[in-house]
A = this chain, B = another copy of it.
Amino acid sequence: MARQLFELCGSDPARVFSPFCWRSRMALAHKGLDFDSVPWRFTETERLAFARHDKVPVLVDGDAVVVESFDIARHLDAAYPQAPSLMHGAPEPYRFIGAWTDTVLHAGIAGLIVTDIPPLLDDVDRAYFVTSREKRYGKALSEVTAGREDRLPAFRASLLPLRHALRGRDFLGGAAPDYADYTVFGGFMWARVVSPLELLAADDAVHAWRERMLGLFGGMARAVPAAA
């Protein structure tokens, strides 16, 4: 059976938008591994019963079923040691980059784009998404993203650690990208696929880095339909 990556999408299976799935998609490309993308929607939890999990990404790689993007990356480094390393033998420092991405970058992006997601979803998923997210935020999604253009400067300021880490180098991984880059880039792909809002100023070093990431692996990420 071909390698399979279960990935979140909406009505259009080409528009994969989960930031965590993007981490795994880029990781597979980094390793030079082909895979079949299996479209998955929020409410299809029973389809993941085989993995004893209820979220994507899920990777099926031969006999291995691996859940959670971080563990997928570790699996790929362990199973394919001859391919370029994602985490250079020491996954621990990448956890902090993931923690910053989850708590600062994703939270910031969600507050700017969450209203752009429901229109991409089928009816059942849309109802689930709006209800669960409004419960999480404790308010209507329209209130979450209200005045978002005015909050862009604060969002951009929150990227200062990323900007500093990129000083004097093309990628967080140095001369070449590694799992640090894919971890952070997932958030920007999420925004790109679902929202027309431009998160970054054109003269931002993070913008230039994002362009380099979009161009990797023959422009794999750039080829996915963007919302803008």
Q: Say yes or no: B160 contacts A95, CB within 8 Å.
A: no
> Is A140 among interface residues, defined by CB-CB distance under 8 A?
no
> Is A89 among interface residues, defined by CB-CB distance under 8 A?
yes
List B contacts of A102 (CB < 8 A): 164
Q: Say yes or no: B88 contacts A165, CB within 8 Å.
A: no
Taking the nearest CB of chain B, how far is it from the CB of A183, in angstroms? Answer: 10
Q: CB within 8 A of A89: which of B89, B92, B162, B178? A: B89
Q: How far is the CA of A106 from the CA of B174 in the complex (A)?
A: 24
Q: Say yes or no: B96 contacts A100, CB within 8 Å.
A: yes
Q: How far is the CA of A109 from the CA of B46 in the complex (A)?
A: 47
Q: How far is the CA of A163 from the CA of B99 in the complex (A)?
A: 8
> Is A94 among interface residues, defined by CB-CB distance under 8 A?
yes
Taking the nearest CB of chain B, how far is it from the CB of A83, in angstroms? Answer: 16
Q: Say yes or no: B164 contacts A92, CB within 8 Å.
A: no
Q: Say yes or no: B93 contacts A164, CB within 8 Å.
A: no
Cβ < 8 Å to B, chain A residues 95-117: 95-100, 102-104
Q: Say yes or no: B161 contacts A93, CB within 8 Å.
A: no
List B contacts of A174 (CB < 8 A): 92
Q: Say yes or no: B164 contacts A103, CB within 8 Å.
A: yes
- Residues of A whose CB lies within 8 Å of any CB of B are 87-90, 92-100, 102-104, 160-165, 172-174, 178, 180
18 CB contacts below 8 A, A to B, read: A87-B90, A88-B89, A88-B93, A90-B93, A92-B172, A92-B173, A92-B178, A93-B96, A93-B180, A96-B96, A96-B100, A96-B161, A96-B162, A96-B165, A99-B160, A99-B161, A99-B165, A104-B161
